[in-house]
Structure 1
Amino acid sequence: MTAPTDAGVDRALAALPAAKRELARILLAARRPVPARPARRSGAGPVPATALQARLLRREQHVRPGTSTGTGSHAIRLAGRLDHGRLREALTGVLARHEALRSRISDSPDGRGPQLTVDDAPCLRLTRTDLKNRTAAARREAVRHQITESATTALSLDTGRTSWFRLLTLAPDEHVLILASHLALFDGWSSGVFLTDLAAGYRDGPETLAPPELQFTDYADWQRHWLASPDGAAELTRRRAEFAGIPPAPPAPGGFERGHLPVRLDRGPGSALAAGLALGAAEGATPFMTLVAALAVVLARLDGRTDVVVGTPSAGRFAAQLEGAVGQFTTVVPIRIDLSGNPSFTGLLHRTRAAVADALSHQRLPVDELFTSGTQPYRVLFALHNYPAVPFGLPGIEVSQLPGPPARHLELYSPDPAATFACIGLVERDGEIGGTAEFNRRATASEDVTALLTGVENVLRRAAASPAAPGITL
């Protein structure tokens, strides 16, 4: 006897009464092995929200009702004759291409928890503002104000108002396009996907924008099923056991209040950073691994421990089919580093290299499932971002990125932001390494974050001078 095809199963399910249809789907899914990687889901309808989305929805509903749990903002300058109609059609086409941009998240009335529902038709929210008659100084101030205001726009998961666009006209041939997006549905990688699709839709027409190979809803549906499967449950149990002996990071008594600090590490010739990264490369370590090793030394000295955990935000797109989708795939990967036995820096590099590789192999595990409330073992987050460069080009238009307000990632990346005192996000660009340190004012001060980074450079300076000398942590 041959197994029924997916089309046959769908027809059989459709013939059932509505009350029994979902139960039949659950029973069928339970009989199928859950693949180790996401695949296109069968059927339609709502899917369970991811663990991160469920946390953000709870915070939006109960901790900060009436406000958005996180808004990301991106701004680009468009120099050249812009066809407003084509831009509007391209924006609508991108919303139609990605299910995440047409989604809402709300609690299920039948107690199944937060559900991700996709609207059939895209809803473009676009505000146009004409600034042509203002002075140059007034235009600059208006652009700055609009970018800042966009980053604080209160978006809403349960109503589906999760994106908002602003088009500012500075002159007939000069515009600024600003996107506000809810961080529960749009991560840093998504900005590159979005801009690439927008350029293609503007250039070739929105009808050319075929759906991505996998949608974010495919991933969300897979994640819940995989976590409940024997394989997912076993990996979760094993990974939790690896951190069982690490005490949880204590929350700051005053809770959480965001602060920001610009960060720049000197990578010039003869600098400690340049020497340290060269040493790391000679030992087969990436710049990220080398910096994490130095950061672990500083944290070990501060805490008086030989076991350090550093959290790093990971893109979470562990399957190639996910790279072309808009969505919130990011998770935090905890890296446990062993500094016992007074190692040399080269010895610590080898340990860190193995620890990073092992940690990144567990990107499938969402941090909100790995560490339940009050159990996260890290208090510092560190990232060296490597988002792919996006050659965003429009016919006859010169495009450039505009700097936006500081990131708001601590609440996104940490199950308990009060237990994380700093999130250091760096980007390597044009021979320099710099970015932003977001920190909890209730737990630390800006000068303490600066001292932390100065300590990293001092460790690298000492390591470059005596890479094989034992006792780098002393």
Structure 2
Amino acid sequence: MTVTEIRPSVGQTLLWFLDRYRGEEGALNCPVLCRVRGGLDRGRLRQAVDRVVDRHEALRTTFTGGGRRLKALVHPAAYPEIREVDLSGEPDPEAAADRAVAEELGTRIDATGSAVRITLWRLAEDHHVLCLNMHHMVTDSWSCNVIFEDLCAALEGKPAAEAAPYSRFAQEQRELLAGPAGKRLSTFWGERLKDVTLPPLPMREATPGAPRDTRLVQHVLEAPTVAALDALAKRERSTMFVALLTAYYRALRSVSGTEDLAVATLFANRGAEHRRTVGFLANMVLLRTRLAGDDFTEHLLATHSTVMEAFVHQALPFQMLPIRLGGTSRRLDDVVFQMMADPVYSTRAGGLDLEVLVPDDVATRFELELVAVPDRDAVRVLLFYNPDRFEKEFAESLLTGYVDICTAAARGAAPHSDQAGAAAPVPHGRPR
């Protein structure tokens, strides 16, 4: 059995560059993290993990070379070790597990050796935390959901749904971009983003050689606010993603003084044939919207239109956008909005109760990133920022303004317009 060499995708090439030249510890980690309760059969877990790895070639892929010489190597059998750590003797096993998870997620993965690192922490005989920590070059948020579902199916001894290999996606992407469809995509984005600028924010110049750091401020939008925003979005045939992005636009308008706003986000970038494909398929897109006046519903409709257009044209890789920001050190992905897909929080498989955990303390490679995390009927709002570029007071003020806008919009939500379009899809979710 031999190693198969394949051409990496456009997205993998970008992530390799970021990892090698602009990477921060843990910023390109993308984990599946879950709590496991019940009598755990380690042999059965090992077999289930091996079945998932066998099934998805991306999880058996390593990388070598660089630039145009970057190669992806698919190994016929590459089963990562399951490192076991016993925390049951700690005074507070839960707190010890939290610290251990934070350390693991903040530790870089070297994709030249293995892009998958697995740890099982034992808190008690019937209580464990499992982490499949993966380099972003071999997975994305959507893929993490697929991996978790396939792991549960394997624990149950059930077959998983058919999945196309990642190499097929990479080949199809190259063919699309080289043909007429690629030209049409480039033309669309060239027109849509002509003369685009980023919201003027109080950003300091980056300190040369300064270690990369990430700070977080957060808030919870309670269930009544979330329900009212969701009802407003549905009345306009839109989505919660659009409503929360609209509030972010308004908060940015308030602090920047501009109505022409550009915010980056990740879309899943998947057709039906790749819904079960594991790998890095997601694509960053730049959502440009102009807000006029003060009516939240009108702003939501404008945002909805922007999201729908971007969804249709999402296949052009971010680094191939036909635009450049001249005369500034800022990047097109400086200001980011993400909404994580509402996960299956708990399930039962193989006699075990499994609960998906969504970590807050993963590093980010962006300067300012607002992440909305559905949490049952509420939404956690996480604002990550680079303290080398932004003052803590600014981040706190921006988040406070955002929460106030959401609250006011929910309080004033009422039927406003007969305008209706197709419901906007929920994009990819945070790049974890």
> Above 0.5 in TM-score?
yes
Choose which of 331, 335, 339 in structure 2 pairs with 1:380.
335
Greater RCO, 1 or 2 (C-alpha within 8 Å, sep 6+): 2
Q: Which letter does structure 1 place at the counterpart of 2:104? A: S
Is 2:4 aligned against 1:53? no
Deviations 1:102-126 (Å, cap 9, x if unpaired)?
0112237xx8442322111122222
Match of 2:143 among 181, 184, 190: 190
Residue type of the alignment partner of 2:83 = T
Amino acid in structure 2 at the alignment position of 1:362:
H
CA contact (8 A) 1:196 1:390 kept: no
Q: Does 1:429 align with 2:369?
A: no
After superposition, the Cα gap between the structure-2 partners of 1:355 and 1:171, relative to the gap in structure 1 and judged at 3 Å, is closer
State yes or no: 1:175 paired with 2:175.
no
Shift of 1:148: 1.9
Aligned to 1:363: 314
Report deviation, 1:151.
0.7
Aligned match for 2:75, one of 95, 119, 125: 119
1:457–1:142 Cα change, 3 Å: closer
Structure 1 85/360 Cα, relative in aligned 2: closer, same or farther at 3 Å? same
* Structure 2 unaligned regions, length at least 5: 417-432
For 1:350, which of 278, 301, 317 is the aligned residue? 301
One-letter amino acid of the structure 1 residue matched with residue 278 of structure 2: V
Q: Which amino acid aligns with 1:128?
A: E
1:228 aligns with 2:178: yes
Note the C-alpha offset of 1:315.
Answer: 2.1
**Taking structure 1 as reference, are residues 296 and 217 closer, same or farther at Cα in structure 2, changes over 3 Å only?**
same
The answer for the alignment partner of 2:426 in structure 1 is: none
Q: Does structure 1 conserve the Cα–Cα contact (< 8 Å) formed by 2:214 and 2:363?
A: no
The answer for the alignment partner of 1:307 in structure 2 is 260
Aligned residue pairs: how many?
404
For the 8 Å contact 2:60–2:76, the answer to whether it is kept is yes
Match of 2:397 in 1: 451
Equivalent of residue 92 in structure 1, options 45, 50, 63: 50
TM-score (norm 1): 0.75
| 1:125-144 alignment runs, 5 A limit | 125-132=81-88, 134-137=89-92, 139-144=93-98
Three-state SS of the structure 1 residue aligned to 2:185 is helix
Pair 1:440 & 2:386 matched? yes
How far off its partner does 1:163 sit? Answer: 0.9
Give 1:168 deviation, angstroms.
2.8
Which range moves more in the overlay, 246-255 or 330-339? 246-255
Aligned residue among 99, 104, 109 for 1:150:
104
Contact persistence 2:197–2:262 (CA under 8 A): no
Distance 1:387 1:227, change over 3 A: farther
Aligned to 2:356: 401
- 8 Å CA contact 2:34–2:357 kept in 1: the answer is yes
1:307/1:336 contact within 8 Å kept: yes
When residues 184 and 350 of structure 1 are mapped into structure 2, their CA distance, relative to the original with a 3 A threshold, is: same
- How far has the Cα of 1:467 moved from its partner? 7.9
Contact conserved, 2:19 with 2:28, CA < 8 A, in 1? no
- State whether residues 48 and 113 of structure 1, in contact with CA within 8 Å, keep that contact through their aligned partners in structure 2: no
SS at match of 1:238: helix
Given the superposition, is the C-alpha separation of residues 390 and 465 from structure 1 closer, same or farther in structure 2, using an over 3 Å criterion? Answer: closer
Determine the structure 2 residue equivalent to 1:321.
273
Cα distance change, pair 387–362 in 1 and its aligned pair in 2 (3 A): farther
Change (3 A) 1:466 1:84: closer
Distance 1:465 1:389 in 2: 31
Q: Secondary structure at the match of 1:81?
A: coil
> SS in structure 2 opposite 1:393?
strand
Task: Give the CA deviation at 1:431.
Answer: 1.9
Pick one of 251, 275, 287 that aligns with 2:240: 287
| Distance (Å, rounded) in 1 between the aligned partners of 2:196 and 2:7 | 31
Structure 1 letter corresponding to 2:111: L
1:201 to 150, 154, 159: 154
In structure 2, how many angstroms separate the alpha carbons of the residues matched to 1:355 and 1:113?
A: 37
**Equivalences for 1:33-48 in 2 at 5 Å?**
45-48=4-7
Does the CA contact (< 8 Å) of 2:264 and 2:285 recur in 1? yes
Distance in 2, Cα, partners of 1:47 & 1:193: 23
Q: Is the 8 A contact 1:75 1:178 kept in 2?
A: yes
Helix, strand or coil at the partner of 2:214: strand
Name whichever of 381-390 and 78-87 sits farther off.
381-390
Deviations 1:290-309 (A, max 9, x none): 22223223323333322111
Q: Note the C-alpha offset of 1:392.
A: 3.7
2:290 paired with 1:338: yes
3-state SS in 2 of match to 1:213: coil
SS at match of 2:237: coil
The residue aligned with 2:34 is: 76
Provide closer, same or farther for how the CA distance between residues 462 and 397 of structure 1 changes in structure 2, counting only shifts above 3 A.
closer
SS of 2:349 mapped into structure 1: coil
Q: Determine what percentage of the aligned residue pairs are the same residue.
A: 25
Change (3 A) 1:458 1:169: closer
Higher mean Cα deviation, 222-231 or 164-173? 164-173
Match of 1:217 in 2: 167
Tell whether the 8 Å contact from 2:27 to 2:106 is kept in structure 1 after alignment. no
Change beyond 3 A, Cα 1:213–1:190: closer
User: In the superposition, relative to structure 1, how do residues 239 and 148 fare at CA in structure 2: closer, same or farther (>3 Å)?
Assistant: same
Q: How big is the shift at 1:248?
A: 5.2
Give CA deviations for 1:329-377 in whole Å, capped at 9, x if unaligned.
222222111224x363333222222111111212212212226775754
Q: How far apart, in 2, do the equivalents of 1:335 and 1:358 lie?
A: 9
Provide the rounded CA distance (Å) in 1 between the counterparts of 2:222 and 2:99: 33
What SS does the aligned partner of 1:46 have?
A: strand
Q: Provide closer, same or farther for how the CA distance between residues 458 and 45 of structure 1 changes in structure 2, counting only shifts above 3 A.
A: same
Distance in 2 (CA, whole Å) between partners of 1:352 and 1:63 is 31
Q: State the 1:237 CA deviation.
A: 2.9
Tell me how far 1:98 sits from its aligned partner.
0.3
TM-score w.r.t. structure 2 length? 0.82
Q: Which amino acid aligns with 2:304?
A: R
Unmatched segments (≥5 aa) in structure 1 = 1-43, 412-416, 470-474
